[in-house]
A = this chain, B = another copy of it.
Amino acid sequence: MGITKSEIFSPQQNELANFARVLGHPARIAILEHLFKINTCVCGDLVKEIGLAQPTISQHLKELKTIGLIKGEIAGTRVCYCIDEENWKEMRAILSTFLHQSLSEPDCC
């Protein structure tokens, strides 16, 4: 069916999975890494840097923007994208909590 049954999971589980899903593509990882290095970047730079077509990069940027990890401001014909620090930290906290769970029982296998 290809459709995730979100309704049977908690909002927390869905949110966590959604953040992970957006990080689950190397192009988006590359975009974020580049934005961290050069914290202000227009789409064109990323197209050269990454090597995917302009519409493809634009699409990945849109997804990152929708989930709130980056923000973009129009500057003439260009758009200045950068990390949304506040949301980034929130996402990081959510993921970190999950990643640092500890086992209540010892390993069985």
Interfacial residues, chain A to chain B (CB-CB below 8 A)? 4-6, 8-9, 13-14, 16-18, 20-30, 33, 36-40, 50-52, 71-73, 80-83, 85, 91-92, 95-96, 98-109
Contact = CB atoms under 8 A, between A and B. Distances in A.
A10 to B, nearest CB: 8
B52 A30 contact: no
Contact of A16 (B29, B73, B80): B29
Among A5, A33, A85, A108, chain B packs the most CB atoms within 10 A around the CB of: A108
B51 A29 contact: no
Contacts of A25: 4, 17, 21
Contact of A109 (B14, B27, B73, B108): B73
Contacts of A109: 40, 71-73, 80-82
A33 B101 contact: yes
B98 A96 contact: no
